[in-house]
Structure 1
Amino acid sequence: MKKSIFIFVMIVFILNTLFSSAIPQNSKIITLKNNNTYYTKSSNSDEKSQGHNTNVDTAPKIIASIPEEKIYLYALNEQEPWYQGLVLSIDGVNKFFNWKTLSMIEVPPKLYYLDLNNDDKKELVVILYEDRGTGISLNTMHIINPEDFTEYKFKNALDVIKDNVEIKILSKKEVEMKINDTIYNVKIGDVPPNLTAYYPIQVSDIFFKHYIKYSMEDNVLKARVGAEARPLKYLGDIIIDYSFKDDEFKANKIVFEGNPTVTVTTHKLNKTK
């Protein structure tokens, strides 16, 4: 019995020690709801809530961090298979976000801290996973202003595709994609039997559902969206590069990249004067 009590006390001590880097001692995270806005603050343990919906978690868990920048992302509540409700801490200032991410250790959230809009100030990119499996990857992206924790607007990948991509099914083996002023002709070739679980042998429709992956590559925000001809069978990917314009992050470049079993040819449309 004494041994169990000792182990429990040590676990509590370790968790509190981990969290103390962002939350002052003798304080705790207070999650408040005010006018449908959730936020957090450090509060002395004897502070009383004044008409707020208050939820306290004394042992949040670090799930991502950039320690050299004093940036930490904490999970307040684990509801398999997700962490529900996250606290972002930047230089000791904390805010609650009603975000969720998978609690699987294989897909931790990703944090990037860099200047994305050329204002000589760094922004924080938070990438979270909502689903993952064979042929499935769904994540979400948030771009945070670290000075006030506001989110920059950005056009999500599915809306970019809706506004910029047109698709025609020419036959069971051939698809035409128009992306802005470029035509992609996609022809399905021979698919080896061992790859038919991943790549389609024919096509009757194209949809975008199970693979939406945001990433940071060479300091450029990107989205890769799988073009499915059958559930979880991909002709290839729509790849979107983002840039900052008119106070939001928008698609700067959109291309199609075929899978190894298809042949892709492209040509530019003649622009009318």
Structure 2
Amino acid sequence: MKKEIGTLMLLSIFALSGCSLDNSKTVTQETVKASSEQVTQSEQKNGTNLIEASDDEKVKLYALNEAKNEIKGVILDIDGKQNNFDWEIPYTGTKPQLFYTDLTNDSKEEAVIIIQTGRGTGLDNFDIHVINVEDFSEIKVQSYEDIVANEIKSNVVKNDDGTLTITAKAQGKESKFDYEFDPAPDFNQDELAFGGVVIYKLENQRIKLNIPGSVGVSPVYVVDFNITYKFDSAKNEFIIDQIETIPIEK
């Protein structure tokens, strides 16, 4: 009889232990699941939809507000530190380009963000932002409008034979060439037009800009202006360094 009671007690202990283990397992699974859901909901609530990251993942860009055709407002993450910017990113099919590199020659990296702002027939526009990684202040980049107004002079002459004679002067250097047809004979134009194509890129830790000049109503691009920037530490600004003028072959 004692042997039977002992066996029964032993079985009861095992049964109770099994229940305890099963309950513990259930609680742990539910806790992990709830925690995971909480993190996911928190990320969605804070608008942390990743747009793009630099190759080294030091710089990341997240969407704050997403509308039908564009993103309005972003979170810029630089090596774990974050700040909001009111940049707008239209859905053009081209993602922003992000870089973490030293452009100011002070052995400290900057965050560089290049965003396509317009795209279409004869249209290809980009903006560039250079951000100080320590305080998230933006370092000014001389605009293409300022460069065109102060550094580039041009003249377009319509010839009787239907050709154009184009003169372009930049940084004291003059280029003169003939363009073999006039795309808009009835359109009065005495200088090149700019703004249809504005393309920024980074090359060898320097900012480059391509702004071709055009003629006609539906722009026909006839000459490339390739601009290289340099950093002016006194102004804390990227300003023009060199302009290369290259006629575009038809």
Q: Would you call these one fold, judging by a TM-score over 0.5?
A: yes
CA distance in structure 2 between the aligned counterparts of 1:159 and 1:242, rounded to whole angstroms: 13
Following TM superposition, by how much is the alpha carbon of 1:69 offset from its aligned partner in structure 2, in angstroms? 4.2
**2:141 match:** 154
- 8 Å CA contact 2:157–2:166 kept in 1: the answer is yes
Following TM superposition, by how much is the alpha carbon of 1:217 offset from its aligned partner in structure 2, in angstroms? 2.1
CA distance in structure 1 between the aligned counterparts of 2:136 and 2:173, rounded to whole angstroms: 38
Deviation string 1:14-51 (CA, Å, 9 cap, x unpaired) is 9956xxxxxxxx966xxxxxxxxxxxxxxxxxxxxxxx
Deviation string 1:205-237 (CA, Å, 9 cap, x unpaired) is 421121111111232201111211013211122
CA distance in structure 2 between the aligned counterparts of 1:14 and 1:214, rounded to whole angstroms: 41
Match of 2:204 among 208, 212, 218: 218
- Cα RMSD for the two superposed structures: 2.6
Q: Are residue 137 (structure 1) and residue 128 (structure 2) matched?
A: no
**1:183 match:** 174
Which structure features the higher share of helix residues? 2
- 8 Å CA contact 1:200–1:234 kept in 2: the answer is no
Which structure features the higher share of strand residues? 1
Change (3 A) 1:14 1:188: farther
Q: Which blocks of at least 5 consecutive residues in structure 2 are unaligned?
A: 1-32
Where do residues 83-98 of structure 1 align in structure 2 (5 Å cutoff)?
A: 83-98=71-86
Deviation string 1:165-207 (CA, Å, 9 cap, x unpaired) is 11122334101111121001021026xxxxxxxx947683421
Following TM superposition, by how much is the alpha carbon of 1:154 offset from its aligned partner in structure 2, in angstroms? 1.7
Q: Which blocks of at least 5 consecutive residues in structure 1 are unaligned?
A: 1-9, 18-25, 29-55, 191-198, 262-273
Change (3 A) 1:236 1:200: farther
Change (3 A) 1:146 1:134: same
Query: Which amino acid counterpart does residue 180 of structure 2 have in structure 1?
Result: G
**2:214 match:** 228
Identity over aligned residues, as a percent?
A: 28
Query: Which amino acid counterpart does residue 168 of structure 1 have in structure 2?
Result: N
Number of aligned residue pairs: give it.
Answer: 206
Query: Greater Rg, structure 1 or structure 2?
Result: 2
- Aligned residue for 1:77, secondary structure, equals strand
CA distance in structure 1 between the aligned counterparts of 2:68 and 2:83, rounded to whole angstroms: 23
CA distance in structure 2 between the aligned counterparts of 1:137 and 1:76, rounded to whole angstroms: 25
Q: Are residue 250 (structure 1) and residue 234 (structure 2) matched?
A: no
CA distance in structure 2 between the aligned counterparts of 1:76 and 1:150, rounded to whole angstroms: 19
- 8 Å CA contact 2:58–2:100 kept in 1: the answer is no
Following TM superposition, by how much is the alpha carbon of 1:64 offset from its aligned partner in structure 2, in angstroms? 1.2
Following TM superposition, by how much is the alpha carbon of 1:131 offset from its aligned partner in structure 2, in angstroms? 0.8
Q: Are residue 65 (structure 1) and residue 56 (structure 2) matched?
A: no
- 8 Å CA contact 2:60–2:98 kept in 1: the answer is no
Where do residues 1-273 of structure 1 align in structure 2 (5 Å cutoff)?
A: 57-66=45-54, 68-104=56-92, 106-172=93-159, 173-189=164-180, 200=183, 204-205=189-190, 206-230=192-216, 231-245=218-232, 246=234, 247-261=236-250
- Aligned residue for 1:68, secondary structure, equals coil
Change (3 A) 1:236 1:121: same
CA distance in structure 1 between the aligned counterparts of 2:94 and 2:38, rounded to whole angstroms: 22
